[in-house]
Amino acid sequence: MNSLKILYVDIEKVWRGGQEQLFTLMVGMKDRQHRVWLAAPSKSPLSKKARDIGLRTVAFNQRNELSPWAFFQLWNILRKTDCDIIHLNTSRTILCAGLASKLCGVPFQVCSRRVNFPLKSRFSHLKYNWMQDSVVTVSHSIRQTLIEGGIRPELINVIYEGVDLNWIDLLKPPPLAHLKNGLMVGTVAHLSPEKGHRTLLEATVKVVSGFPDVVFVFVGAGHLRSELEKKVQELSIQEHVVFSGFRSDSEALMKNFDVFCLPSISEGLSSAILVAMASRLPVVTTRVGGIPELVVDGETGILVPPNDAEQLAAALSKILGSRDLRQKMGDAGRRRVKETFTLKRKLDETEDLYSKLLASAGIG
């Protein structure tokens, strides 16, 4: 296809799954000879990583949805880039970007939706239904949530996230200091309520009674850290829990794990689970959001209800108790990623979406 001019917009100042997913998308589009720009906070981790690999970046900040300053910034950026498509990585930028792109004559606006929260207002319906040409969801579960919230089905395109298996295979696991030589259960997620870390700590108490050498590694930063550390003290499991904080090498770090666990209460589609499966790790997680579209219960891991420490502990104990089961599930997870969740497929489908949008207007 012809080279496209694409502006990606992200307003987050942290590095989470959404930023990782956008970064791989931008790199892939750049490698396919498209002209790519990123509008994001200049000091954000995403901007820094983009600059490090030579992507064009422009400073952009937005504090609220109705910001005149954000609208002016985007209007100025769009005039200079003359892009074919503006692709938003968060819904908070839809209104400002929609108005600015209309005034600047940008042909199409696309927004990614990565969370599975229901839409709560008529304003949200307006934003999605009348200011977007396409809404890209990372799971069918999110698509269904949007449809139930009143979004027109024809606007919504499901494009699963993808993993670069060759890159995963080249990663070398860094050493983890001060850990025992026993089994290791790891979780990688922002320390926020919807990720279910409290339930995992409650399950830890039950697991260590049968596996006294097991260590649980919590990778990630967030405002819940002090509360979770206090919970560890209350449960007297200090010897079994390690908080690593945010790790830029989390994908490599995961290769130290024996089991990956994500006890989310709400989840769109977990990048961390994809990396775990690509790394041949069995997965214990919850039956929420898009997770069942990733993890095949009993084949690549075990699904349990959210907020259920008993069943979470039982599933972890079952997998920890069998090396053969861990290997069997890990191998099955790797095959599933290779079949359905590759980075190439994600890039192909996104490129195809852009091409169809432009072709519908006789462009390209």
| Neighbour tally for 242: CB within 10 Å | 18
Residue 179 pLDDT: 65
Length of the chain: 364
- Give yes or no: residues 139 and 220 share one domain: no
CA distance 240 to 204: 8
Residue 177 pLDDT: 67
Both tokens assigned to 314: 């039982």
**Which residues lie across from 134 on neighbouring strands?**
110
Residue 167 pLDDT: 94
For residue 215, pLDDT over 70 is answered with yes
The greatest distance separating any two alpha carbons of the chain, rounded to the nearest whole angstrom, comes to: 66
CA distance 90 to 101: 16
| DSSP helix/strand/coil, 317 | helix
Look up tokens 């790519």; give the residue: 36
Residue 180 pLDDT: 63
- Give yes or no: residues 286 and 351 share one domain: no
CA distance 71 to 94: 10
Domain count, the chain: 2
Question: What tens digit of pLDDT does each residue of 3-12 get?
Answer: 899 999 999 9
Question: What tens digit of pLDDT does each residue of 35-44 get?
Answer: 999 999 999 9
CB 274 within 8 A of CB 294: yes
- Give yes or no: residues 154 and 188 share one domain: no
- Give yes or no: residues 193 and 259 share one domain: yes
Nearest to 355 by CA among 94, 157, 93, 91: 157
For residue 362, pLDDT over 70 is answered with no
CA distance 48 to 91: 22
CA distance 168 to 257: 14
- Give yes or no: residues 47 and 193 share one domain: no
For residue 54, pLDDT over 80 is answered with yes
pLDDT average, residue stretch 161-169: 95
CB 304 within 8 A of CB 261: no
Rg (CA), the chain: 21
* pTM, entire model: 0.90
pLDDT average, residue stretch 124-136: 85
- Give yes or no: residues 145 and 194 share one domain: no
**Which residues lie across from 259 on neighbouring strands?**
185
CA distance 363 to 81: 17
CB 109 within 8 A of CB 97: yes
Q: Give the Cα-Cα-Cα angle 143, 149, 151 (nearest 5 degrees).
A: 65
- Give yes or no: residues 107 and 185 share one domain: no
CA distance 77 to 57: 10
- Give yes or no: residues 121 and 186 share one domain: no
Question: Higher confidence at residue 1 or residue 274?
Answer: 274
CA distance 139 to 343: 15
Arithmetic mean of pLDDT over the chain: 92
Show Cβ contacts of residue 279 under 8 Å, excluding neighbours closer than 6 positions: 168, 251, 254, 255, 330, 334
CB 242 within 8 A of CB 219: no
Q: Which domain holds residue 231?
A: 166-340
- Give yes or no: residues 219 and 185 share one domain: yes
- Give yes or no: residues 104 and 184 share one domain: no
- Give yes or no: residues 311 and 352 share one domain: no
CB 91 within 8 A of CB 129: no
Annotate 263-292 with DSSP letters as a single string. --SS-S--HHHHHHHHTT--EEEES-TTHH
- Give yes or no: residues 116 and 222 share one domain: no
Residue 178 pLDDT: 59
**Domain CATH number, residue 250:** 3.40.50.2000
Nearest to 92 by CA among 29, 40, 145: 40
CB 339 within 8 A of CB 156: no
